[in-house]
Amino acid sequence: MSQKTLLIVDDVESLRDVLASVLEDEGYIVFKAGNGIEGLAVLKSKKIDLLITDIFMPEMDGFELSMEVRTKYPQAKLIIISGGGNVRSVEKANKFDAVQAGQDLLNPDSILKKPFAPSELIELVESVLS
């Protein structure tokens, strides 16, 4: 079985790096991007099996990126990491209610809410890719 390729998009570098390390330890090939635009650039050049993206980012956010992926790269699986600890308030505060909209429109394979345990992440990635 060939190694699966993952793309992690998050604007917080330290979190992005450690996420990548954790998943690399599990045997995946991991690419990283700081925002949606960088993420799209990676998608153009590499075949990505799973996109893990944060929603709120500068330049191009996770919502827009996911839309692109859903239309241009339908084979790629999608996990959305939602905003932060206070998901409810984020949902309410945001005009287009990104998480709910993400569920309805993008139909992501899973949503991971911060804070999550590393084992939770690993199990989820495994199940989405199997």
Partner 1 sequence: MVSSRLPFSWGFQKANIKSVLLALLIWAAIIGGSVVWNIDQCYQSKRNLAIAEARSNWSKDNAFRTWATRHGGLYVKPDARTPPNPYLSHLPHRDVVTEQGMKLTLMNPAYMIRQMSQEFDNVYGIKGKITSRTLLNPINRADDWELTSLAKFDNGVTEIVEQSNINGAPYIRLMKPMIMKKECESCHGHLGFKEGDIRGGVSVSVPLAPYWTEAVNTVQLIYITHFIIWLIGGGFVVIFWGLIKNRESQLKVANNELLENRELLELRIEERTHELLNKDKLLLESQALAHQASKMAALGEMASGIAHEINSPLQTITLLNYRIRKGFEKSDSNIVFQSSDKLDDMVSSIAKIIESLKNLSRGCNNEAFVWVSVNQIMEDVFSISKERFLLKSISLKVNYTDNCQDTKLHCQRMQVGLIIINLLNNAYDVVLEPRDRWIDICISADNEYVEIKVINGGPKIDDSVKDKIFQPLFTTKEVGKGTGLGLSLSLGTAIAHGGSLHLADSHKNTCFILQLPISNIKSKEDV
Query: For binding to partner 1 (CB under 8 A), which residues are involved?
Result: 11-12, 14-15, 17-19, 21-22, 25, 56-58, 61, 83-86, 89-90, 93-95, 114-119
- Residue placing its CB nearer to partner 1 in the complex, 14 or 75: 14
The 3-state DSSP class for residue 89 equals helix
Minimum distance from CB of 20 to partner 1 (Å)? Answer: 10
In the complex, the smallest distance separating the C-beta of residue 75 from partner 1, rounded to whole angstroms, is 28
Residue 1 or 117: the one with the smaller Cβ distance to partner 1 is 117
- 63 with 78: CB under 8 angstroms? no
Residue with Cβ nearer partner 1 (57 or 125): 57
Q: How far is the CB of 119 from partner 1 (least distance, A)?
A: 8
- Cα–Cα distance measured from residue 129 to residue 124, given in angstroms and rounded to the nearest whole number: 9
Which CB, 13 or 46, lies closer to partner 1? 13
Please check whether residue 79 is in contact with residue 108, taking contact to mean a CB–CB distance below 8 angstroms: yes
Q: Give me the least distance between CB of 76 and partner 1, in Å please.
A: 23
